[in-house]
Amino acid sequence: MSRLKAIDALGQQVWLDSISRKLIESGELARLIAEDGISGVTSNPAIFQQALSKDPAYVAAKAALPATLTDPEARFEALALPDIQAACDAFLPLYDKSNGNKGFVSFEVSPSLSRDADGTFAAAQRLWSAIARPNVMIKIPATPEGLVAIRKSIAAGININVTLMFSPRHVEAVAQAHADGLADRLAAGLPIGQIRSVASVFISRVDSKIDPLVPDALKGKIAIASARVAYADWLAHWGQKGDRFAALAAAGAHPQWLLWASTGTKNAAYRDVLYVETLIGDQTVNTVPEATLNAFRDHGEAAATLAQGVAAARVSLAALADLGIDLNVVGEHLQNEGLVLFEQAFETLLASVGT
């Protein structure tokens, strides 16, 4: 058995944090699904910016765009959305076989809308309709404005991948927005059983920000500790049997799964599969970059680690607080930095597809 498939056997899905036309057309994506059990793909502006700059398959595609299509974002979507649709189609058998629990492909709304609730919701509706696949997820950042759009999108029956989450405050607010959206839809007499959502909690960026501020005993531990506590709290409150989700579950709702993002190690001193091996747990997702996926396939060890060491994790977070470091404040800084990076990548991307 593939080492990656061993993760799936423990109840965690592994998604690839990458997409390109070459990945799909070469048959590599189909191979990853069949041999490694990869059960989803995520994308963001930075990923597409890299794909369009490096994948020669886009050269002819860009040249073939109509000259009358002059809006840069429309040109980008004319290139990207067919890839999202093709990836969705590749995963559709898995989606059907799993009764809609696996096989998702994510596409993000424009980063320029991160502080525009109405604009984000309108974009989510437009993209959902344009892609027209049951196994697509529309990505929305966990900004205050994004939370409003997330609730409205869930109520509208749209699958949502919430991105740029870094702190306990983000985790709680996003879970509440998801539950509120389901409750709104249920109150309107509409079905809720088909909706799926994930909450993408970024991992390695937290340690990169905090490690320089803490003693050696806490270096490389805070992001994992925060994730383990978030998972323990999720099981108690928001999982299928969680007390705060019980009424919605009884009506057929599926809980919003926690997804670990940014799980490639940025510190060369750490094991290259650190943020995969330590965060394996049932009813979660880990979205990994290609290098991390290859590393785990080669030497990763699969074990149910996420639910372990929760008491020690709480001690680590308490020690962080004793140092005067507020993880929620750090999370806001990281989210703002992430928004800037995505905006810059998006601007570069749009410039590359200009007429």
The catalytic residue among 102, 139, 209, 221 is 139
End-to-end CA distance of the chain: 48
pLDDT at residue 52, rounded to an integer = 87
pLDDT digits (tens, 9 = 90+) for 198-215: 999 999 999 999 999 999
Q: Among 60-64, 230-234, 254-258, 337-341, whose mean pLDDT is lowest? A: 60-64
**Is CATH 3.20.20.70 correct for 3-352?**
yes
pLDDT at residue 70, rounded to an integer = 93
- Taking residues 348-353, report their average pLDDT: 90
Confidence at 57, pLDDT banded by 50, 70, 90: confident
Residue 338 pLDDT > 80, yes or no? Answer: yes
> Is the sign of the CA dihedral 303, 305, 306, 308 positive or negative?
positive
Q: Among 40-49, 95-104, 322-331, whose mean pLDDT is lowest? A: 40-49
Mean pLDDT of the chain: 96
Long-range contacts, 158-161 (Cβ 8 Å, 24+): 158/124, 158/125, 158/128, 158/195, 159/104, 159/128, 159/134, 159/135, 159/195, 159/196, 159/197, 160/124, 160/197, 160/198, 161/42, 161/104, 161/106, 161/137, 161/197, 161/198, 161/200, 161/259
The yes-or-no answer on residue 241 being catalytic is: no
Q: Among 33-37, 221-225, 237-241, 318-322, whose mean pLDDT is lowest? A: 237-241
- Taking residues 286-296, report their average pLDDT: 97
pLDDT at residue 53, rounded to an integer = 84
Contacts of 250 (CB under 8 A, 6+ apart): none
The domain ranges of the chain are 3-352
Give this prediction's pTM: 0.97
How far apart, in whole angstroms, are the C-alpha atoms of residue 32 and residue 19? 12
Residue 60 pLDDT > 90, yes or no? Answer: no
> Is the sign of the CA dihedral 300, 301, 306, 309 positive or negative?
negative
pLDDT at residue 240, rounded to an integer = 76
Of all residues in the chain, what percent carry a pLDDT higher than 90? 91
pLDDT at residue 355, rounded to an integer = 60
